[in-house]
Amino acid sequence: MHTLGEVAEFLQAELRGDSNYVITGIAPLEKAGEDQISFFGKVEGFVQTSRQYLTATKASAVILTVKDAEDYFGNAILVEDPYVSYAKLTSLFNNAPKIKPGIHATAVIGKNVSIGEGTIIEAGCVVSDGVKIGDNCHLYPNVTTYHNVQIGNRAIIHSGAVIGADGFGMANDKGKWCKIYQLASVQIGDDVEIGANTCIDRGALEDTIIEDGVKLDNQIQIAHHVKIGAHTVIAGCTGIAGSTTIGKHCMIGGAVNINGHINITDQVIITGASTIERSITEPGIYSSALEVQPHQKWLRTKVLLLQLANIVKRLRKLEEQQNE
């Protein structure tokens, strides 16, 4: 519980209204009750953008821009970017149990491990020999980091994540597969978040690198010797094959499949469920996912798709006849 005055001070924003009003939580405009604060404006990831939600809200205070506040007469917190201010405010209302820095009794720490100040290693985590973890990190329960992995400051690593397992390398020796031991490691920068059950493999000869500020969702697979540029975000279930480089400030959707040994430049957006087979050299938005159709219709479309060569042939024949 915080007063609107505290909220405004926390956000370093101007309050227009009752600074003593007590707020118990945050809610979307259309669901907020009288003791809650909401936000209006640039709301990525939320469907609501219509002004009518603002008019109708029961929220006792709204975070919004000066311009949007002109016709709004409730308690208002005036900010430049309401969505960013909302994001910041969630940390004030964070109700997660406070865990003291340190290593849980059931975690297993190898030899020559370095763990920074303020870092939390929860139950069941296994941190193998030679791992370096920076300050103020949080490893949730059952995270595994293989030997020599390096993690920067303020990393958040969710349960089940596996950092530094062997990259998938082998050579075919007359029908049998000979393992390529993965001699390099994984380097993770500062302010990186890694989702539950996400895997980041160690490199064979060169490290896998996750630069500062990268945010990875759950169940992402990052193969050996991949490099992900600073402040790139990747949604769940995406897989990136070996030795691919992804630029800075990219946004990669969920369930995207990215080929190995390619380069994706900075500021590329890939929409969900797309496949990238070749390098992308220009910033922009890229897509390749199909979209469901009623099953019978889709079956017909699939058949016709495979007849495209024939369609083009027939078209050419008609054109030739036309021009005779």
Pairing of strands 176-179, 170-173: antiparallel
Q: Could you say which of 180, 245, 265, 266 contacts its own copies (CB under 8 A)?
A: 180
DSSP β-bridge partners for residue 202: 166
Q: How far apart are the first and last CA of the chain?
A: 83
Q: Could you say which of 22, 56, 66, 315 contacts its own copies (CB under 8 A)?
A: 315
* Active site (annotated) includes residue 224: yes
**By CB under 8 A, what part of segment 64-123 binds its own copies?**
81, 83-84, 86-88, 90-91, 93-97, 104, 106, 108, 110-111, 122-123
Spatial distance between the Cα atoms of 324 and 320, rounded to a whole number of angstroms = 6
Q: Which of 2, 138, 158, 224 is catalytic?
A: 224
Closest contact distance (angstroms) between CB of 239 and its own copies is: 4
Closest contact distance (angstroms) between CB of 297 and its own copies is: 8
Spatial distance between the Cα atoms of 205 and 218, rounded to a whole number of angstroms = 27
**By CB under 8 A, what part of segment 253-272 binds its own copies?**
254-255, 257, 259-261, 269-272
124 burial class (0-12, 13-18, 19+ CB within 10 angstroms)? middle
Return the structure tokens found at 160.
Answer: 């089940």
CA distances from 324 to 84, 311, 315, 319 (A): 66, 20, 14, 9
Q: Could you say which of 25, 33, 52, 70 contacts its own copies (CB under 8 A)?
A: 25
**By CB under 8 A, what part of segment 115-144 binds its own copies?**
122-124, 126, 128-130, 140-142, 144
Q: 3-class DSSP state for residue 185?
A: coil
Residue 210: which H helix or E strand, with range?
strand 208-210
Beta carbons within 10 angstroms of residue 125's beta carbon: 23
Number of residues located near its own copies, criterion CB under 8 A: 140
Does 30 help bind its own copies (rule: CB under 8 A)? no
Taking the least distance from each CB to its own copies, the nearer of 20 and 321 is 321
Q: Where are the beta strands (DSSP E) in 14-161?
A: 14-16, 22-23, 25-26, 36-39, 61-64, 75-78, 102-103, 108-109, 114-115, 120-121, 126-127, 132-133, 138-139, 144-145, 150-151, 156-157
The answer to whether 284 touches 268, Cβ cutoff 8 Å, is yes
Closest contact distance (angstroms) between CB of 124 and its own copies is: 5
* Residues in contact with its own copies, shown as a per-residue x/- string from 31 to 60 under the rule CB under 8 A: x------------xxxx-------------
Beta carbons within 10 angstroms of residue 126's beta carbon: 17
Taking the least distance from each CB to its own copies, the nearer of 73 and 290 is 290
**By CB under 8 A, what part of segment 209-228 binds its own copies?**
213, 215, 217-219, 221, 223
Does 279 help bind its own copies (rule: CB under 8 A)? no
Q: Could you say which of 54, 199, 209, 250 contacts its own copies (CB under 8 A)?
A: 199
**By CB under 8 A, what part of segment 231-250 binds its own copies?**
231, 233, 235-237, 239, 241-243, 249
Spatial distance between the Cα atoms of 62 and 73, rounded to a whole number of angstroms = 10
Q: Could you say which of 9, 70, 117, 277 contacts its own copies (CB under 8 A)?
A: 277
Closest contact distance (angstroms) between CB of 15 and its own copies is: 20
By annotation, the residues acting in catalysis are 224
